[in-house]
Amino acid sequence: MKKWQKTAATLTLATTLLVPSFATAATTADTQMQYGKRSYDLLERLNMTPQQQSKLKYEQKSEKESVFSEDTIIVKYSSNKLSFTDHKRLGGYVIKSIPKLGYDVVKIQRGQKIDDVIKRYYSTGDVVYAAPSQKPQLYTTEFNDPKVSEQYFVDLLNIAEAQKLAGNNEVIVGVLDTPMDVNHPELKGKVLPPYNPYNPADPGDLYHFHATHVAGLVAAEANNNQGGIGVAPNVKIMPVAALDAYGGGSEYGVADAILYAVENGVDVINMSLGFPWYTPLIEEAVKVAVDAGVVVVASAGNSYDTHYNYPAALPGVITVGATNDQNKKAEFSTYGPQIDVVAPGEEVYSSVYAPGVGQSYADASGTSMSGPIVAGVAALIKSNYPDLNTYQIEQILEETATDLGDEGFDQEFGYGLVNPVAALNYDMSKLTEKPEMVASVDTAFAIQEREPGVYTRKGFIQTRFEEDWVKLPVVAGEQVQAILQSSENYDHMMELRFYPEGATESQEPIVVSKQREGEAESTLFTAEENGTLLVGVKDRNENFAPGAASMYELALIKSTEIPADESTKEAPLPLGALPVDSDDFYLALSEEQIEAQKEEMKQLQEQLKEEDMYYYDPMSNVIADKDYFTFSVDVPTKMKLNVSGVPGINITLKLYDEMMFNQPMPEGMPAWEKRYWPWAMQETNMNGDGEGETLAFEAYPGMTYVLEVAGNGFSYDDFWYYRPLPVSSGDDEFEVKSSFIPYNVTAEAVEMPADEDNYPMMDYPMYDEEMVKEIEAKEVGAAKATDDVIIIGESRSYWSSIGSEQVDQITQSALDFPLSTVQSGYFQTQWDEDWYNVSVEDTAIYEFSAPMTESLRPAIFLYEYDAEKNEMYMVGDPWMSYYYYPMEQTDVTIRTILEKDKQYFLQVRNDYYWSFDEYSVSFKKILDAPVDKNENNNEFIRATIMEPGKTLRGNFAQNNDLDIYYYKHTDPKAALGFLAETVELTDAQKDEIPEELRQPLDFIVSIVEDTDGNLQLSEDEILKSMQYYSRNWGQDAKFSGAFNAKKDVGYFFIVESWSWGSINVKEYEMSLFNYEGSDEDKDGRALALTADGAGKWKATGKLNGFVDFGDRDTYELNVAEKGLVTMELELPSGLDGVITVYDSAKNVIATFNTYLQDDNEYASLELEKGKYFVEVSDAMKRSHTDNYTLHVEWKK
């Protein structure tokens, strides 16, 4: 199942100023939001309590997880568009229209709530879809300091050989991405005019490297003595800014970008971006492209799991996962049945535009990089065969891919690693034409009747585009229940087509594709006239497998008789005495019941309009059966009610008090309340389609209870993100949920053991659901008012602290939780919570994990105990360990560091729904904490002493850690510098350490002068502090700084992570050094190069600190004969080299500043015979105590 995907990092250039004096350092004490980073205030940070530090990490995580717009919705009309006046009345105004697809983009008026506005739009009857606009994500993870030789994909995929096989037809590749540097040397001359759908008059700012990097992988120039090469250097690039300069955007912007590319003659589209949820707007735009013959390539995503991202999971899209240089799946890469092929996506070298430097090159990681490699291969194929469509290109790529992993198709690698040479040598006679429609009454199989009214077929999807069709004659009034069970690794779907008697064309097809691989699809079809029903089975992702791997089982159950509705609202059926194991019941509807529900819903909608109440119930268009059962008990009884699952039906259980249930609806009740009358005491809708539901509660004597089993359940996520078109109340828009498949009810009394910890010490009253909601709202409101709780989206996760009164009870009742044990227990009441006392002998990283069951959703939270204040505050929450999809976890897990001198308490409780299942929580050590020899240096009085020339190593593995160092300068005034950089993990460490504990380490160094020498800092001293940091976001930090130190004055160095509160086991190194020696060429004379072989020279020197305008060393080069001169400048870590070549008169001939920090700078130029000067410097005027080396080579 799925983990939370890491948010794709927004990356920029790694440069930080090394300044010549303390007073003019890079930034003030308040580092404001820039380069994508959160603002930083040292004074605020140092004054924070541990509780405030813990709370902040929840705020920081919450900021990153926003997926949907809060002020923009996408609206689609059934027929008539709304007028300006209508939009104004509904609370919105149109900011963009996409007439080709029938959509408007609507901005919410100020002061309006987006949910309320959506309800109003649905209530008009003219809107068939309204939902918040999604924010697309870039699929890039890291940005490292590159070496050209690390462009491993060129050799791995034999790109040079593939390029020899390319044809002469012009191919246009659309890069739908951020704004692109169209003048980059690798792209200039091959880029078409850029287009920005958000502002067509402005191509967009060049802030983000992403598009330039992607375009370089597709088409970077070859043989230009610069950078790397692209897969298809001869293609044209169409840059379309589907995202803005910072990687943000919207689904309507991406859709507009697709339509623009198609209308302007694009041949291949690459989208290294996506949305985590289905969006019909994007599907319709992609269909336009596919139907036009455009090859569409999309990156699978960086979710670390099998989540379907879009457009990658849409029909006709070539979906690309990522591998590394060892042909292993990249850790971050999304995988699953939607993957077609994979390509290198980890640390891939390409062109970039970097703010502050401009045109350069760098490594980046993500499926964003693997996608354009495949798009480039598709372009090479199209250069030979320009008429091939996306399906044909996909076939070529899949059938020629190098098999990785399990033989044949598998979920990690799809059909394998893209093989460009094999693809370009493909025998085109083997191509399979995708059929428009293979369904036909004449060609479909006559499905066999296995028993009266039951027809079954076991089949296999063994060939490309295979669709198996069966036919079944039906007469008017007959109903057919279709059930499809897929094999484990394949996601099959059904399509139903009905041919009326004598007709040659079918009615509107019914597509059934809600479940994932290995799960059952189901629907009920009703014949309104005589005819033939065709049912087709195909793979949603167009996968296939020889043999039996892609097996399915199809069952059709035909009947003219609707199962009797034995348990109605007017006449509930008694369940009888416990235990109960009922006969079969059916959530089936007759035509009369369907029509009656439709009429009732229409009347409700009319009343809502009359009352001017803009209200929309997500399931108000769902027609479903509801069954009712009654029961009572003689003694207080804890009861467990279970209803088995029905394929294709999402079941909701509701529990009522019979007296309340039978009360007549009050006169004058508002229409919106009628949908919920009568009010339920308790309900559950925990699981999805085809799954059962369990209700746990305590029944009391003297009451009669009513159980409602309804087939119209839904999850919030299903409604917004998986239903292709949430529909309005039009007559043709109702969705009928009915089934011939039986369910049964079981009920039993449950004997619960005594409460494990006797906490809480009181039983809670049995409230109905509305009372519980009211109490919850008051509690949350009160907590918010005191700033004690941060609510995290829909995940029911929050940060909290606990006051002394509760702490006394918890500390007295908590059970011991020894390491390497599993603790189990039960929740004796819906509000029960069990507490465990946790302490450890070793500071290390530990894991608490609690598995879920069908009805149990345990919630675990870790608190640190402050004995001095007698308070607890939260330091561990499973939400902090997840990526994007917590609802799909199978275990609730906390991974965190525990310190040996601290006391912790683990809270275990229900996550909303009560369950009688036994919970279990394991507690184990997963990793030794990295040793920090300087701890505890979190306080000024305990600061670690620094000395020039000595390297110190630290980490931020402890919760909310910061490290403080102190240097006392006793010599006369001198120039001092420091270097700070992340220590790279070994491959063995990467294999051992969980991914979330080794995220890029991005930290900040603050230097504060201890003016009064008291080894403490005053507010005035802090306000004069200087901060130094890497300008990267989402990569390991590496930077340097410098200042003028004063005699007998001390300096604090305060080092901490940008994302403090998060745990990271990576280490950093800090070193302080004196700028010694003098500038080698301060007298203005050029230095001499040293011979290093025939036609070769080299020089070694230092870029010294505190030289006005930065040190620049100049060397004399004498060229004896015209030839090609190449130069390579190797610089110490943290510098960005520049090579400048002058003629004998000191006129600049050429300057080379192409490559980024920590990447060797290269120069190549033809020089005539004569004397020249070669100058080396740092792009940011920085200095270093380590040597650089300059290599020069002459060739005739």
- DSSP track, 342-359: EEE-SSEEEEEEETTTEE
| Pairing mode, strands 801-802 and 871-876 | antiparallel
Q: Is a pLDDT exceeding 80 seen at residue 813? A: yes
Across the chain, mean pLDDT equals 83
Q: Tokens at residue 786, please?
A: 């005191």
Decide which of 855 and 1127 is more confident.
1127
Quote helix, strand, coil % in the chain, to nearest 5.
Answer: 20, 35, 45
Percent of the chain with pLDDT over 70: 85
pLDDT at residue 1126 greater than cutoff 60: yes
Condensed to tens digits (0 to 9), the pLDDT of residues 226-276 reads: 888 999 999 999 999 999 888 888 899 999 999 999 999 999 999 999 998
pLDDT at 315 over 50: yes
Question: Per residue, what are the HEC states of 78-105?
Answer: CCCCCCHHHHHHHCEEEEEEECCCCEEE
| pLDDT value of position 780 | 42
> Rounded to an integer, what distance in angstroms lies between the CA atom of residue 180 and that of residue 202?
12
Contact at 8 Å (CB) between 409 and 363? Answer: no
Q: Which residue type, as a one-letter code, is found at position 371? A: G
- Average pLDDT (558-562) is 86
pLDDT for res 24:
22
Residue 721 φ then ψ, to 5°: -115, -15
- Residue 22: strand, helix, or coil: helix
Q: Both tokens of residue 491?
A: 């996601």
Query: Annotated catalytic residue: which of 145, 177, 689, 1010?
Result: 177
Q: How far apart are CA 281 and CA 741, in angstroms?
A: 35
Q: Is 71 a residue of the active site?
A: no
User: Is it the case that residue 311 has pLDDT exceeding 60?
Assistant: yes
pLDDT band at 1033 (very low <50, low <70, confident <90, very high): low
pLDDT of 762 > 70? The answer is no
Q: Do domains 574-749 and 1087-1195 have the same CATH topology?
A: yes
- 87 an active-site residue? no
Instruction: Say whether pLDDT at 717 is over 80.
Output: no
Does the pLDDT of residue 805 top 60, yes or no? yes
> Which of the pair, 731 or 889, is modelled with greater confidence?
889
Q: Which of 368, 550, 849, 1025 is catalytic?
A: 368
Half-sphere CA count of 95, side-chain side, radius 13 A? 17
User: Do 240 and 197 touch, CB atoms closer than 8 A?
Assistant: yes
Q: Is the pLDDT of residue 339 over 70?
A: yes
Question: Residue 14 above 80 pLDDT?
Answer: no
CATH fold label, 1087-1195: Jelly Rolls (2.60.120)
Question: 304 — alpha (psi -120 to 50), left (phi > 0) or beta?
Answer: left
> In which band, very low, low, confident or very high, does the pLDDT at 19 lie, cut at 50, 70 and 90?
very low
368 catalytically annotated: yes
Q: Assess whether the previous peptide bond of 489 is cis (omega < 30° from 0).
A: no
Is it the case that residue 722 has pLDDT exceeding 80?
Answer: no
324 pLDDT higher than 90: yes
pLDDT bracket for residue 954 (50, 70, 90): very high
Q: Which residue in 814, 822, 924 sits closest to 863, CA to CA?
A: 814
**Domain 445-559 in CATH 2.60.120.380:** yes
DSSP three-state, residue 977: strand
CATH 2.60.120.380 fits 574-749, yes or no: yes
Q: Kindly tell me if the per-residue pLDDT of 783 is higher than 90.
A: no
Residue 52's H or E segment, with its range, is helix 50-64
In the predicted model, is pLDDT for residue 728 greater than 60?
no
The secondary structure of residue 537, as a DSSP letter, is E
Strands 974-982 and 1038-1045: antiparallel
CB within 8 A of 717, min separation 6: which ones?
A: 277, 887
pLDDT category, 37, cuts 50, 70, 90? very low
Quote the distance between the C-alpha of residue 426 and its chain's center: 36
**Cα–Cα distance measured from residue 482 to residue 563, given in angstroms and rounded to the nearest whole number:** 16
Taking the model in full, what pTM does it have?
Answer: 0.77
By CB atoms closer than 10 A (0-12, 13-18, 19+), residue 1125 is buried
Give the orientation angle of helix 390-400 with respect to helix 367-384, to 10 degrees.
110
Examine the pLDDT at 692 and tell me if it is beyond 70: yes
Model confidence at 991: pLDDT above 80 = yes
Share of the chain above pLDDT 90, in %: 47
* Closest C-alpha among 133, 135, 136, 137 to residue 72: 133
pLDDT at 1042 over 90: no
Identify the architecture of domain 769-916 in CATH.
Sandwich (2.60)
The full DSSP string for 99-168 is TTTTEEEEEEPTT--HHHHHHHHHHTSSEEEEEEEEPPEE----EE---GGG-THHHHTTHHHHHHT--S
- Is 80 exceeded by the pLDDT of residue 1079? no
Predicted pLDDT of residue 495: 94
768: pLDDT confidence band, cut at 50, 70 and 90? very low
| Superfamily of domain covering 148-426 | Peptidase S8/S53 domain (3.40.50.200)
Say yes or no to pLDDT of 777 above 60. Answer: no
Asked whether the predicted pLDDT for residue 438 surpasses 60, the reply is yes
For residues 776 and 481, the model is more confident at 481
940-1074 CATH pick, 2.60.120.380, 3.40.1360.10, 3.40.50.20, 1.10.1760.20: 2.60.120.380
The pLDDT of residue 29 is above 60: no
H or E stretch at 536: strand 531-539
Domain ranges for the chain: 69-134, 148-426, 445-559, 574-749, 769-916, 940-1074, 1087-1195
Structure-token match 């999805």, residue found: 688
What's CA 987's distance to the chain center, in Å? Answer: 25
Q: Looking at mean pLDDT, say which of 193-197, 516-520, 995-999 comes out highest.
A: 193-197
* Paired tokens of 810: 């918890």
Q: Does the pLDDT of residue 835 top 90, yes or no?
A: yes
Give how far Cα 777 sits from Cα of 80, 615, 780, Å: 40, 21, 5
Q: What is the pLDDT of residues 54-101, one digit of tens each?
A: 555 555 555 555 677 888 889 998 877 888 888 888 888 888 888 888
Catalytic residue among 210, 213, 307, 492: 210
Determine if residue 778 is left, alpha or beta; phi over 0 gives left, psi from -120 to 50 gives alpha, anything else beta.
alpha
pLDDT: is 792 or 468 the higher one? 468
pLDDT of residue 801: 64
What would the DSSP string read from start to end of 233-302?
TTSEEEEEESB-TTS-B-HHHHHHHHHHHHHTT-SEEEE-EEBSS--HHHHHHHHHHHHTT-EEEEE--S
pLDDT tens string 167-211: 999 999 999 999 999 999 999 989 999 999 888 878 877 778 899
Residue 789 has pLDDT above 50, yes or no: no
Q: Which residues pair with 104 in a beta bridge?
A: 75, 97
Banded model confidence at residue 15, pLDDT cuts 50, 70, 90:
very low
Please report the pLDDT score of residue 30 as a whole number: 32
Q: CA torsion sign, 555 to 559 to 562 to 564?
A: negative
The hierarchical CATH code for the domain 69-134 is: 3.30.70.80
The beta-strand segments (E) located in 633-681 are 637-643, 652-657
